[in-house]
Structure 1
Amino acid sequence: MPENEAAALYRLMTWLSPSFPVGAFSYSSGIEWAVEAGDIVDAASLRRWLAAMLTDGAGICDGIFLAQAHKAASANDETRLGDIAELAAAFVSSRERHLETTSQGRAFIEIARTAWHHAHLDRLIDACKSPLAYPVAVGVVSAAHAIPLAPTIHAFLHAVTSNWISAGARLIPLGQTDSQRLLAELEPVVGTTATRALAASLDELGSATFRADLASMRHETQYTRLFRS
């Protein structure tokens, strides 16, 4: 493997590893309320919920934002990058989801910039006037380090899906084997979503996961909570 490819793979695996400290374990994207409401009761219902979120909800939307941010940053189009960052921060459906994506985005930027400092990255971040949503942060950092978009978006969606499954495993609960089986079953869904996001424009943004949006909103007033969203 060429040295530059090895370095890119190393960074991508590090940044999107469950151990990278962005605080993802604190958030469930509304899954906690869905479990309490009885929408998610086992591995099969969790798989259906997550497949919908990937194909018609936060998954595809975040994938599009990541792809567009990466393309704008790679082209040094700071004006467009700022517009994408503003739209992504405003696009989330609830206060808690806004907290989730911007908190993770801020942590991702701060840690990646400190450990892998890059002067070009500082300039790109300065072009974003709004708080950076998590997918935009990943797109900007990976572009600044010349990491190709296709593996970045696949790794990002894998990381997001893994965190959703981890939340479900703690809430339902599920065993380790069932969790890994679920991740394997969602592999083609993640791949298809990544491919769609790579080819999509901002005009194709949109979601139809109304129950998931309601879950995120109702979680704000849920009596007992383990997660922040």
Structure 2
Amino acid sequence: MTVNEPQPVLDRGGMTESEAAALYRLMTWLSPSFPVGGFAYSSGIEWAVEVGDIRDAVSLQNWLAAMLADGAGFCDGVFLAQAHRAVEFCDDAGLRETAELAAAFVPSRERQLETSAQGRAFIEIARHAWNCDGLEAMIARCGSAIVYPVAVGIVSAAHAIRLAPTLHAFLHALTSNWISAASRLIPLGQTDSQRVLASLEPVVSATARRAIAATLEDLGSATFRADLASLRHETQYTRLFRS
């Protein structure tokens, strides 16, 4: 950095204004209070509880660790990362390819509803409350339905928020929502819920690192039981959740 270049403005905690803005926006967008309707979905966890696959904190932790590392968590992370990079590098063809593949890459009708409804809500709220230069053009370039991880990737890149913290925040929010759903089904107490979330921190971090390094060619899921849970949930007799 030369003496003529502007110096970043730091607060007393050593955070630049842009870093503070990025943190504020990520905490807002991926908060449970952000109105994308995440509370209405369980990603098949409701059926897993119904049949006894998930019955306590330990079985929940094991189920979610698999979903993160080898299922929807990793795949959604790859889609977010690819969408973010496509926007960052003005790769229109790459953005369209990512958006189209992400919309098709779901194992059940209910998971399709879950990710597409949340993606649509995220985009609409961003347009009205968190708009920025170029966002509308980036959305238009997708040319298809925008599912949730792609929506987060597009909006965060449009706001010049770096990929790594965005992806970590997204996977944390995804995990927290899964635990919240399970806590209403098992039931699971608040302390045990936090123990599960704490235990999954290294899995979230490792999944984020893999997703950042991956390409669309690396996509794949090995969580057949979770996919089956999502399919079975469609005909479950009593339901609290939409997926």
TM interval, shorter chain, is over 0.9
Aligned to 1:180: 194
Aligned to 2:4: none
Name the structure where helix makes up a greater proportion of residues.
1
Which residue of 62, 74, 81 maps to 2:76?
Answer: 62
Aligned to 2:54: 40
Q: Which structure has the larger Rg?
A: 2
In the alignment, structure 1 segments of 5+ residues that lack a partner are none
SS of alignment partner, residue 171 of structure 1: coil
Give the letter for the 1:11 counterpart.
Answer: R
TM-score by length of 1: 0.99
Q: CA deviation at 1:110?
A: 0.6
Aligned to 1:111: 125
Distance across 1 between alignment mates of 2:214 and 2:77: 9
Aligned to 2:149: 135
Distance across 2 between alignment mates of 1:11 and 1:157: 16
Structure 1 consecutive aligned stretches of length 4 or more whose deviation exceeds 6 Å: none
SS of alignment partner, residue 184 of structure 2: helix
Give the letter for the 1:29 counterpart.
Answer: S
Aligned to 2:177: 163
Aligned to 1:206: 220
In the alignment, structure 2 segments of 5+ residues that lack a partner are 1-14
Give the letter for the 1:45 counterpart.
Answer: S
Distance across 2 between alignment mates of 1:172 and 1:51: 17
Q: CA deviation at 1:159?
A: 0.1
Distance across 1 between alignment mates of 2:181 and 2:98: 29
SS of alignment partner, residue 236 of structure 2: coil
Q: CA deviation at 1:119?
A: 3.0
Distance across 2 between alignment mates of 1:117 and 1:62: 23
Which residue of 117, 126, 137 maps to 2:140?
Answer: 126
Distance across 2 between alignment mates of 1:15 and 1:61: 20
Distance across 2 between alignment mates of 1:3 and 1:97: 38
Indicate the RMSD between aligned Cα atoms, in angstroms: 0.6
State percent identity of aligned pairs.
Answer: 75
